[in-house]
């Protein structure tokens, strides 16, 4: 492994690549699936809402609609079988599916916390359990996990969402260490604020808010460059990375100054 080469193999041409986008019915996942279809990839689109997946796929002939709930491992297995049966394999899996529930300690709700972890963390583990054996046996493949800059450090109003994304960051790092020598690429995707149904509930001004189309462009560019961590928009995520390095005293002080919380 070189200190200067890209951490994952760069992508030169998307044409013919078989990609499974999980969480493709809206927001970042939908825009990414559409962009990859436009670039000539074959894309399997999954999420719970079939009608939304069909609308996202439009008339693209390379699209495959496979609705399921990521918390149900049996339905993930069934969709994977269908992809392998129809395409003969799957080169890349992007796990974008996620939910956000605003929560602070004084409103702690165990059921809501469990539901969030079920989708954001358990859902990812369900997908990994289904795709890893085949990729490892083949010695090829690529896995992208969509976490968030909210996983860098504890933030206000993200009592459970933050830890779910912190877990994905750690998981992606460990996966990279284990899978790189086996020929499997791992990408960690950390968006800042993107204007999607997920952030529509936010009652605060979101700095450097991006459109889903711009987020998809940045995500796909990062995959093409073979980056391990793909974070965007840089003018916001670089600040979050700087905050990550600060001692706690400074970090808590600045968060209080910026948010009043």
Ligand X SMILES: NC(=O)c1ccc[n+]([C@@H]2O[C@H](COP(=O)([O-])OP(=O)(O)OC[C@H]3O[C@@H](n4cnc5c(N)ncnc54)[C@H](OP(=O)(O)O)[C@@H]3O)[C@@H](O)[C@H]2O)c1
Task: Choose between 22 and 135: whose C-beta lies nearer to ligand X.
Answer: 22
The residue (of 71 and 140) whose beta carbon lies closer to ligand X is: 71
Q: Is 152 a catalytic residue?
A: no
- Which residues, 6+ apart, have CB-to-CB distance to 246 below 8 Å? 254
Let me know: does 119 contact 99? Beta carbons within 8 Å: yes
Please enumerate in sequence order all residues whose Cβ is within 8 A of that of 171, keeping only pairs 6 or more positions apart, or say none.
124, 145
Which residue number, 31 or 179, has a Cβ lying nearer to ligand X? Answer: 31
By C-beta, is 8 or 32 nearer to ligand X? 32
Closest CA to 35 of 104, 125, 96: 96
The least distance separating ligand X from the CB of residue 206, rounded to whole angstroms, comes to: 7
Supply the minimum distance, in Å, between the C-beta of residue 215 and ligand X. Answer: 8
Q: CB-wise, 146 or 220, nearer to ligand X?
A: 146
Under 8 Å between Cβ of 119 and 97: yes
- The one catalytic residue in 100, 161, 248, 251 is 161
Q: How far is the CB of 1 from ligand X (least distance, A)?
A: 28
Q: Which is nearer to ligand X, 132 or 146 (CB)?
A: 146
φ and ψ at residue 186, rounded to 5 degrees? -130, 125
Q: Nearest approach, Cβ of 157 to ligand X (angstroms)?
A: 13
* Closest by Cα among 120, 123, 173 to 147: 120
Question: How far apart are CB 4 and ligand X at their closest, in Å?
Answer: 29
Backbone region of residue 40 per phi and psi (left: phi > 0; alpha: psi in -120 to 50; beta: other values): left
| Cα–Cα distances in angstroms (integers) from residue 133 to residues 67, 68, 136, 252, in the given order | 22, 21, 5, 42
Residues lying near ligand X in the complex (CB under 6 A) are found at 23-29, 47-49, 52, 69-71, 96-100, 119, 123, 146, 148, 191, 193-194, 196-199
From edge to edge, which strands make up the β-sheet containing 92-95?
63-65, 42-46, 18-22, 92-95, 141-146, 184-191, 229-232
- For residue 5, the minimal CB distance to ligand X (Å) is 28
Cβ neighbors of 25 (< 8 A, separation 6 or more) are 45, 47, 48, 49, 52, 53, 56
| C-alpha span between 207 and 205 (Å, rounded) | 6
Catalytic residues: 161
């Amino acid at each position: 492994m070189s200190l200067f080469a890209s951490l994952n193999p760069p992508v030169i041409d998307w044409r013919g690549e078989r990609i499974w986008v999980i969480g493709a019915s809206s927001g970042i996942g939908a825009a990414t699936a559409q962009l990859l279809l436009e670039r000539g990839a074959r894309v399997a689109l999954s999420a719970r809402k079939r009608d939304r997946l069909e609308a996202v796929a439009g008339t693209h002939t390379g699209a495959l609609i496979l609705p399921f709930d990521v918390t149900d491992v049996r339905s993930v297995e069934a969709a994977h079988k269908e992809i392998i049966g129809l395409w003969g394999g799957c080169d890349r899996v992007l796990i974008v599916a996620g939910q956000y529930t605003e929560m602070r300690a004084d409103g702690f709700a165990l059921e809501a916390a469990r539901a969030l972890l079920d989708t954001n963390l358990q859902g990812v583990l369900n997908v990994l359990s289904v795709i890893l054996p085949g990729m490892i046996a083949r010695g090829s493949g690529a896995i992208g996990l969509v976490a968030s800059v909210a996983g860098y450090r504890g933030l206000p109003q993200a009592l459970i969402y933050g830890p779910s994304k912190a877990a994905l960051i750690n998981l992606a790092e460990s996966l990279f260490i284990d899978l790189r020598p086996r020929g499997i690429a791992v990408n960690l995707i950390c968006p800042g604020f993107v204007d999607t149904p997920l952030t529509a509930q936010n009652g605060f001004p979101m700095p450097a808010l991006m459109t889903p189309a711009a987020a998809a462009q940045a995500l796909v560019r990062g995959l093409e460059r073979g980056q391990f961590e793909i974070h965007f928009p840089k003018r916001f995520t670089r600040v979050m990375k700087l905050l990550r390095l600060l001692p706690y005293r400074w970090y808590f002080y600045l968060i209080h100054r910026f948010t009043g919380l």
